Amino acid sequence: MSGYRVQFAPLADEARRALPRPSRVLFDSEMSATLGRDPYGHGSCPVGKERDRREATVAGAFVVYYVSRTVMVVTAVKIVARP
């Protein structure tokens, strides 16, 4: 399966950058290895009735994201992580 590009909306990126460096490196790696490979897998579930709006836990952080199948991009819009 081809991989998806992972990107972060401004508020999600702010939360991502607030993580301590070791946690951020692990989070980035896990995002690519899990949602970047299969955005509909990794224990994710749709939010409401929208199949492409999803939520999952990645490296201990709760992530809300959108999947764009046409351009193969996963956009994280919300990240909630313990410091």
SS3 category, 20:
coil
pLDDT number for residue 32: 95
Flag whether pLDDT at 69 surpasses 60: yes
Helix-strand-coil split of the chain, %, nearest 5? 25, 40, 35
**Separation between Cα atoms, residue 8 and residue 37, nearest integer Å:** 16
Q: Residue 61's domain spans which residues?
A: 5-80
CATH number at residue 25: 3.30.2310.20
Model confidence pLDDT, tens digit, residues 7-58: 999 999 999 999 999 999 999 999 999 999 999 999 999 999 999 999 999 9
- According to DSSP, the residues that pair with 45 across neighbouring strands are 55
Domain count, the chain: 1
